[in-house]
Amino acid sequence: MELEAVKSIAAAIAIGLGSLGPGIAIGILAGKAMEAIGRNPDASTKIQTAMILAIAFAEAIAIYALVVALIIKFA
């Protein structure tokens, strides 16, 4: 196999596995936040703020995976 092909496969695996965890985490976070808002609609502002902050942290992990994939691909 050529080196470029191996790099492409490695980058695809890195971003694929690196975005799997954050994708699941964001789904769980949003689902639990909707349940919490359904139980206590008066607290929706606080719940939504905490949910968005947690989603941003989860998304940061996916961005790290993207950076690693780009480093693998182009370095």
Question: How big is the CA angle at 28 (ends 68 and 26), to the nearest 5 degrees?
Answer: 35
- Among left, alpha and beta (phi > 0; psi -120 to 50; other), residue 31 is alpha
The residue extents of the domains of the chain are 3-20+30-74
* Class level of CATH domain 3-20+30-74: mainly alpha
Query: The tokens of 30 are what?
Result: 């949003």
Q: Using one digit for the tens of pLDDT, what is the confidence trace for 16-49? A: 999 999 999 999 999 999 999 999 999 999 999 9
- Given a cut of 80, whether residue 9 has pLDDT beyond it is yes
- The whole model's pTM is what? 0.81
